[in-house]
């Protein structure tokens, strides 16, 4: 995700990364050449005199503008809902760690470290799962046999959540959690599952193909007929006007295509890996699982470093 200062907006005018300008330059050059060819045939060679009233494009431009507004709002709503769901993931993980820290014995290092490892593994597995990848960092706290089993799972976050649920039941069975405490933790556990379910709903429900195709055809027809409507009123200035209109309309459509699936690695997608690492740092701090090691936290592109307070080294265990 691109970090920027929204108060220094003048610098955006010279930023090729902003507004998809860099990606559009080749296409803008092509539409400029197409417009120049129309101007040359009409104004210089006078091979034809095709009169297309500009009123047609004015009316169609209003309709197209409304369609693009709806398209952008729909895509941004998906992007914002994805951010809200990751916020739910953050809050549920922190609450689970906070309550576990309050409920467990302060000297129960093994149980604390095990819970922290499972919560962190779940958080790290979510961004990679949404990109149809396997997160190696999510598996680092497991032994070799468990890594093989988890790597073979078609749904890594659920496989880790299954182990987390078993660990919570084990704590309840061994009377390290009361029935009321177990039910309290179960509420946050359910929030984790619901959050990833909402993220999958966004990923697996794209904008309908027919709707997306209609917009693209509408934009293409509008832009490739626009030079015929401008050439008699603006002459060679159409070579500048048409590419600018192309940049605005196609740019809006391209941005909508990018943000409608906010879990990828595009420049405007959500910083999902950074959010997951933030969860890891918070959970380890809360459950005393950092054990004096430096803990790095990356918050949406900015890296911070903190030294956790020293704690006794826990006993080696198998998750």
Is 198 in the same domain as 280?
A: yes
What pLDDT sits at residue 146? 87
Is 245 in the same domain as 292?
A: no
> DSSP states of 79-108 as a string?
HHHHHHHHHHHHHHHHHHHHHHHHHS-TT-
Q: Picking from 38-42, 82-86, 208-212, 294-298, which range would have the lowest pLDDT averaged per residue?
A: 294-298
Asked if residue 64 is part of any domain, the answer here is no
Asked if residue 319 is part of any domain, the answer here is no
What pLDDT sits at residue 232? 84
How do residues 142-158 score in pLDDT, each as one tens digit? 888 888 888 888 899 99
Which string of b and e fits 177-187 if b means at least 16 CB within 10 Å?
Answer: beeebbebbee
Is 251 in the same domain as 279?
A: no
Give the residue from 259, 283, 250 showing the smallest Cα distance to 74: 259
Residue 287 banded pLDDT, cuts 50, 70, 90 = confident
Residue 274 near residue 297, CB atoms below 8 Å: no
What pLDDT sits at residue 11? 65
- Domain of 291 in residue numbering reads as 87-205+274-307
Number of domains making up the chain: 2
Asked if residue 3 is part of any domain, the answer here is no
As a whole number of angstroms, the distance between CA 222 and CA 226 comes to 6
Asked if residue 266 is part of any domain, the answer here is no
Identify the residue whose tokens are 């009169």.
Answer: 51
What pLDDT sits at residue 316? 41
Asked if residue 280 is part of any domain, the answer here is yes
For residue 15, count other CB atoms closer than 10 A to its CB.
12
Residue 90 near residue 281, CB atoms below 8 Å: no
Asked if residue 169 is part of any domain, the answer here is yes
Give pTM, 2 decimals: 0.80
């Amino acid at each position: 995700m691109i970090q920027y200062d929204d108060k220094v907006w003048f610098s955006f005018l010279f930023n090729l990364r902003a507004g998809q300008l860099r990606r559009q330059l080749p296409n803008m050059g092509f539409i400029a050449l197409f417009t120049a060819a129309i101007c040359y045939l009409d104004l210089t060679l006078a091979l034809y005199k095709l009169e297309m009233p500009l009123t047609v494009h004015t009316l169609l431009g209003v309709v197209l503008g409304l369609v693009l507004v709806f398209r952008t709002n729909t895509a941004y709503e998906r992007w914002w809902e994805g951010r809200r769901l990751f916020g739910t993931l953050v809050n549920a993980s922190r609450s689970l760690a906070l309550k576990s820290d309050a409920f467990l014995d302060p000297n129960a290092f093994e149980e604390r470290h095990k819970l922290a490892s499972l919560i962190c593994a779940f958080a790290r597995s979510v961004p990679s799962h949404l990109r149809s990848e396997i997160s190696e960092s999510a598996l680092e706290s497991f032994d070799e046999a468990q890594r093989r089993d988890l790597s073979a799972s078609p749904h890594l976050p659920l496989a880790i959540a299954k182990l987390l649920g078993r660990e919570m039941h084990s704590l309840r069975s061994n009377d390290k959690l009361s029935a009321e405490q177990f039910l309290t933790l179960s509420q946050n556990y359910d929030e984790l599952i619901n959050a990833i379910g909402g993220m999958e709903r966004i990923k697996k429900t794209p904008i309908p193909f027919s709707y997306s195709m209609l917009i693209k055809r509408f934009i293409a027809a509008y832009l490739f007929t626009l030079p015929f409507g401008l050439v008699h009123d603006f002459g060679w200035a159409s070579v500048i006007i048409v590419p600018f209109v192309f940049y605005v309309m196609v740019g809006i459509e391209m941005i909508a295509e990018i943000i409608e699936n906010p879990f990828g690695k595009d420049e405007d997608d959500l910083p999902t890996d950074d959010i997951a690492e933030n969860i890891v740092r918070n959970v380890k701090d809360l459950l005393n699982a950092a054990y004096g090691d430096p803990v790095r936290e990356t918050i949406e592109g900015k890296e911070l470093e903190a030294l956790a307070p020293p704690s006794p080294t826990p006993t080696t265990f198998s998750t």
